[in-house]
Structure 1
C-alpha cells in the first residue's frame, strides 16, 4: 500500500476511509490536532449550520485554524516505479481515484444526512418542548385569570355579605323598635278598652237612673193630671151651682 506504514490503520473521522498522506491531501485543525481529508473537512465546514467546529471533539474553530500537512518520501521504491507506469496504469489509477472520490462523497453525504437527521430530531424535540411550554404558559395564564376572576367575585360577594349583614342588623333594630312600639300600643289598647268598659258600665247605670227618673216623672204627671181633673170638675160643679 502506498504511503502505508504509520498511516496504515489511521482513518478520517468524517468519511472513515484510510488516511494516505503520500497520495492524498490532508489537513489538520491546529487547535486540537485532529487530521482529516482536505475535501472532507471543506465539505464539513460547508454543511455546518450552527458554526464551524471539529467533527471529533467539537472544538470551535474556523478556516484560519486549518493547515495542510506535507509529507516527503525518501527513496520509496514504489514511488520510483510509479513514475514509469504507462498511460493504462494512469487511467486505472484515475478510475480508482474517481471511484474513491464518489465513495467519499457518498459516505460524506450519509454522514451529513445523519447529522441533519439528528439536528432535525433535536429541532423537532425543541419545537415540541416549545409548544408544550407555550401550552403550559397559556394554561398558567388562564389559571391566573381564573384566580383573579374568583378573587374579584369573592370580594364582590364579601361586600354583598357585609351589606346584607348591615341591613339585617338595621332590620333587627327596626323590628325591635317596632316590637316595643307594638307592646306599648297593646298596653294602651288594654287601658283604652278598660276605660271603654267603665264608660259602658257608667252609661248603663245612667240609663237606668234616667229610666227611673222618667218613670217617676210619668207617675207625677199622671197624679198631677188626676188632681187637675178633679179640681176642674169641682170648679165646674161650683160654677154650675153659682149659675143656677
Structure 2
C-alpha cells in the first residue's frame, strides 16, 4: 500500500547527511572550510597549513593548538596527502621556499633600483 506523505523516506536523505558528516571531518579547525594543504597536529587536530602557519606566526611566544591548547610546533605537524591530490609536496616546505623566493625577488628589485639611481 502506497502512502503519499510528500517526502520520500530513505537512503538519499541519509546519504546526504552522511556525506555532510564526512566533509565536516576534514574541515580546518581555524577557518572551518575544507582543509587545503591539510596538516594534522600531534594532538590529532586538522588544519589548513596556511591557517596554522599564520596562527603560529602571530603567537611566537605561545605555540599552542587552537583547539585543545596542547604544545604545537611547525615541525611537529604531519601533512596529509589524499588519493586525488596531484601534488605530493610537504606544504610546510613549499611555503618556506616560496617565502624565501619572494624575499630574494624583493632584494633583487631593491638592488636593481639602487644601481639605477
Larger Rg: 1
Which structure: greater helix fraction? 1
The structure with higher relative contact order (CA 8 Å, sep 6+) is 2
TM-score, structure 2 length as denominator?
A: 0.48
TM-score, structure 1 length as denominator?
A: 0.24
